[in-house]
Structure 1
């Protein structure tokens, strides 16, 4: 009997914690307060630039993620090119941030992905972030980490969450989501194995 009561208590605590930390509705997701919190999160660390690997580690810690999953997404999305762009399916690899911003300006009414984590313009609009801000490597990784954390909280620790990072919803595009997740998780496993070998 006491085991059943303990199990019920733990389930109740888990449900309360879930309701506290996972957005319940679209209104709560994108309220002004919520938007401000994300903007502040993205701006953290400004002026304290890190080299690539420490930067991924630092951002991963902020969002309770493994750096290897962020690196796997960046590798797959941009090949670690901080100025990489994708405009409605067409990829661009500018030589500089200035060149990248010029391409965005010419295509600002279209859907586009920017930077290391290929953050979509949808998120920039939701959080009122400029393309210049989103192209900053550290802030781009931080915004990508926030999106991934949101997907994990929404779908759980499975391929659907990683797929939703790419498609916006694993439910709307299950085949595309799964194909993306398989490619990213393959890179993630290789990076994780390397990290574990370095620790030994």
Structure 2
């Protein structure tokens, strides 16, 4: 019995020490200047707005990405439907921006993904954005590109970063993260071949 108590004590001490060294949300801490930068990127002036297809190239340049990787994620996540939603695992495809916003309003308090890049409500709240701002194709693409750049900078240009875009971290649901990355990279490779460019 005493061995069991000692073992339990050691496990509890280890868990407390681990949590003290590595806070639960450590890898998602966003500095105030990063929050401000993202908000400014989302609120693009009307004169700077361009149609969505050319915007992939523009946003890719802004974040030092290839447009093919943004296209691959948008295609996989939403089928390039700017009003696509996912409410706690249930995909919904409204016919208009207004219909999409009405569904979001009805499901406030739940986890949801919005737009071309299926940005999760966690990030929308994290950056102090409204659902309307995050749903706009231009803003949604920039927000998705920021999240992807964040993942690439943290995990490297590999499947772990692509998987983290979907699950938040490659260690969170690793099987799901890897499967997501495989599907996205397959689309990416196809787009790279079509463009006649070699991948990074």
RMSD: 1.7
2:42–2:133: 8 Å Cα contact kept in structure 1?
no
Q: Residue 39 of structure 1 aligns with which residue?
A: 39
The answer on 1:109 being equivalent to 2:117 is no
Contact persistence 2:86–2:92 (CA under 8 A)? yes
Secondary structure in 2 matching 1:183: helix
Distance 1:47 1:109, change over 3 A: farther
Matches for 1:28-177 after TM superposition, within 5 Å: 29-177=29-177
Q: Which runs of 4+ in 1 moved over 4 A?
A: 25-28
TM-score by length of structure 1 reads 0.82
Determine helix, strand or coil for the equivalent of 1:86. Answer: strand
Task: State the secondary structure of the residue aligned to 1:56.
Answer: helix
Post-superposition offset of 1:115: 0.1
Q: Which has the larger radius of gyration?
A: 2
Instruction: Mark the runs of 5 or more structure 2 residues left unpaired by the alignment.
Output: 1-24
Aligned to 2:6: none
1:178 matched residue in structure 2: 178
After superposition, what is the alpha-carbon deviation per residue over 1:68-109, rounded to whole angstroms, capped at 9, x for unaligned? Answer: 000000000000000000000001000000000000001010
CA distance in 2, matches of 1:144, 1:46: 20
Q: What is the total number of aligned residue pairs between the two structures?
A: 173
Q: Kindly tell me: are residues 174 and 46 of structure 1, through their superposed partners in 2, closer, same or farther at Cα, counting changes over 3 Å?
A: farther
Tell me if the contact between 2:80 and 2:116 (Cα under 8 Å) persists in the aligned partners. Answer: yes
TM-superposed deviation, 1:173: 1.2
Over 3 Å counting, the alpha-carbon distance change for 1:28 and 1:182 in structure 2 is closer
Structure 1 unmatched runs, 5+: 1-24
Q: Deviations over 1:162-196 (max 9, x none)?
A: 00000001112110000000000000001111111
